[in-house]
């Protein structure tokens, strides 16, 4: 197997594993945040609008954990710095 093919295979496997493992924690935490928010919206409908507004902002911030993983994956796929070093 040529070095380029090896490089492509390893990159693909690593990126696939990274996106699976890296999104587990953010998604679980987002689920917890949504559960608590809905619980409290049902308990206190008077502040439901404020909770909903804050929930979206908090979700967007929690989402950034998964976004960092995606960024690393995109860099590995499209702008891998080691590609030039190996001369592929």
Partner 1 sequence: MSVESVFPQTVFRLLGIPVKDSVLQALFIVLALSIFAVVTSRRYRVWGPRPWQLAVEYLVETIENLIRDTSGRSLPQLVPFLTTMILFIATANVLGIIPLLQAPTRDLNTTVALALVALGSWIYYGVQSRGIGGYVRSFVEPVALMLPLNILGFFSRALSMTLRLFGNVVASEVIGAVLFALVPVLGPLPLTILGLLTSVLQALVFTVLTFVFIVDAMGQEEERAETTASAS
Residue 83 contacts residue 6 (beta carbons within 8 Å): no
Min CB(41)–partner 1 separation in Å: 17
- Cβ–Cβ < 8 Å for 84, 77: no
CA trace torsion 82, 68, 18, 1 (10° rounding): -20
Query: Which CB atom, from 41 or from 70, has the smaller least distance to partner 1?
Result: 70
Pick the closer one to partner 1 by CB: 65 or 88: 65
* Shortest Cβ 69–partner 1 spacing (Å): 9
Q: Which residues bind partner 1 (CB under 8 A)?
A: 50, 56-57, 60-61, 63-64, 67-68, 70-71, 74, 78
Instruction: Name which of 3 and 71 has its Cβ closer to partner 1.
Output: 71
Q: Which two tokens stand for residue 53?
A: 């507004």
Rounded to the nearest angstrom, the gap between the alpha carbon of residue 57 and the centroid of all alpha carbons in its chain is 16
């Amino acid at each position: 197997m040529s070095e380029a093919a090896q490089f492509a295979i390893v990159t693909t496997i690593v990126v696939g594993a990274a996106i699976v493992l890296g999104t587990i924690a953010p998604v679980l935490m987002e689920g917890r945040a949504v559960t608590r928010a809905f619980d409290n919206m049902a308990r206190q409908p008077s502040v439901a609008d404020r909770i909903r507004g804050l929930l979206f902002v908090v979700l967007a911030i929690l989402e950034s954990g998964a976004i960092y993983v995606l960024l690393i994956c995109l860099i590995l796929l499209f702008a891998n710095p080691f590609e030039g070093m190996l001369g592929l």
